[in-house]
Amino acid sequence: MSDGALSQDEIDSLLAGLDPSAGGSPSQKASASGLAPADLKAFNSILAELSDTHAQTVSMMTGKDATFSAPKSDSTTRDGMLPSLPDEVLAVKIDMVGGIPGDHLFLVPKDAALKIASLANQDESLSDLDEMAVSVVSECISSLTGSVINAFTEKSGNRSIQSDVADGAFGPKAIARFPAGDFVRVAYDMTIDGSPYKLWEIYSQAFAKDIVAASGMQAPAPQQMGGGSMQTGGQMPQGGGAMGYQQPMYQQPMMGQQQMMGQQQMMGQQQMYQSPVMAQPNVQPVQFANLGLGHPGMESGNIGLIMDVYMELTVELGRTKKLIKDILGIGEGTIIELDKLAGEPVDILVNHKLIAKGEVVVIDENFGVRVTEIVSPMERMADLS
């Protein structure tokens, strides 16, 4: 009879959010539309173009020379991944959202995370991954993910791909939140200031498959013609089965001396069977939006990156101009008359630029300002001039 204590396997399962009664392993099955080897190779080739970009990003963050090896991608599961990881890792989950969503995370060993954080903070004494260190490494991972999204956007043409906010967590490897079922594991050999480190990037299999398909790099599926398989070395199908048919470049429909005549006949048949939509494309003139002053509510997709930046906000009671001799004569009890009337709204400035007007109020024992008017863009332009 059990004494009520949890085994190590049960503890790891609980940390990973699994059900210990299910044997400590999730019931995960690869989808029927799994990633073909050719698709995995195509996906890896996209990431291979980023090795130099990743090295430059890490070098800028750390101030030291960095290198990235060519990625090595394969398909695995959580149970297949855990044995290759050190006991403790920094898992930075930064999912893909927008046009092509999917699970995505980086796994950084403790020694690599400490190296990046200590160099970025210029703190050689850093020996543990505290909250600040995790934040620094997560920022570095966000930059790497930004380069990845640029590559995916260029290859797929989908400009709506974005990344979620990076969520870093350091602890036992069992806490890493892997995608369900089979997923794509990308391994890098990284060096920082001559020291070697490992780095892993994880993608859900569905996301990798969607990227490859959108990039036009997907392995072609067998085509069906009239209920049967297409003959790669045969002649062009006849009758209704030839509707919309296009002969691949590598096929030889005619042989011998009649080859040129056969090609001309084939081109004529293709023109006969072209659909009206293809023959008469719908061409429309380009319509551009009217140029005008931007609205304050229009934000760029990445404005969240600067939400924690401080800006100076000043409330100005009024202004005046004085001669130098008058300023030198200022002493205790001197009254300085301002250009504002009593009860007139005060100016609210951000980084010395007028954005609003308000009235002075008292909150408990402190002064405050109630915003009464937002300055229009035209007034701001007039103020700049």
pLDDT digits (tens, 9 = 90+) for 69-109: 999 999 999 999 999 999 999 999 999 998 899 999 999 99
Q: How far, in Å, CA of 295 to CA of 43, rounded?
A: 40
The pLDDT of residue 229 is 44
DSSP codes, 286-319: --PPPP-PPPTT---TTGGGGTT----EEEE---
- Is the pLDDT at 24 greater than 60? The verdict is no
Q: What is the fold of 8-214?
A: Chemotaxis protein chec (3.40.1550)
Token pair, residue 346, equals 């005060």
124-143 confidence digits (pLDDT tens): 888 888 888 999 999 999 99
Name the pairing type of β-strands 161-163 and 224-225. unpaired
Other CB atoms closer than 10 Å to residue 294's CB: what's the count? Answer: 8
Helix (H, G, I), strand (E, B) or coil at 266: helix
In contact, 24 and 12? CB cutoff 8 Å? yes
Mean pLDDT of 15-22: 45
The pLDDT of residue 56 is 93
The pLDDT of residue 385 is 53
The pLDDT of residue 53 is 93
Domains 8-214 and 311-384 are alike in CATH topology: no
| pLDDT confidence tier of residue 306, bands split at 50, 70 and 90 | confident
Q: How far, in Å, CA of 90 to CA of 107, rounded?
A: 6
The residue written with tokens 């969240």 in the block is 304
The model's pTM is 0.53
The pLDDT of residue 116 is 94
**Residues β-bridged to residue 229:** 224
Name the pairing type of β-strands 346-350 and 313-316. antiparallel
Q: How far is CA 229 from CA 32, 222, 346, in A?
A: 21, 7, 79
The pLDDT of residue 241 is 43
User: Of the given ranges (55-64, 177-186, 279-288, 357-366), which has the lowest mean pLDDT?
Assistant: 279-288
DSSP for residue 230: P
What residue spans of the chain are helical by DSSP H? 8-15, 37-48, 51-62, 78-81, 110-121, 131-156, 205-214, 259-273, 276-279, 324-328, 377-384
The pLDDT of residue 310 is 85
Of 279, 360, 363, the C-alpha closest to 316 is 360
Q: How far is CA 199 from CA 190, 191, 252, in A?
A: 7, 10, 48
One-letter amino acid at 312 equals E
Token pair, residue 266, equals 């084939």
| pLDDT confidence tier of residue 39, bands split at 50, 70 and 90 | very high
CATH number given to 311-384: 2.30.330.10
Mean pLDDT for the chain overall = 77
What does the domain layout of the chain look like in residue ranges?
Answer: 8-214, 311-384
**pLDDT higher at 41 or 378:** 41
**pLDDT higher at 71 or 263:** 71
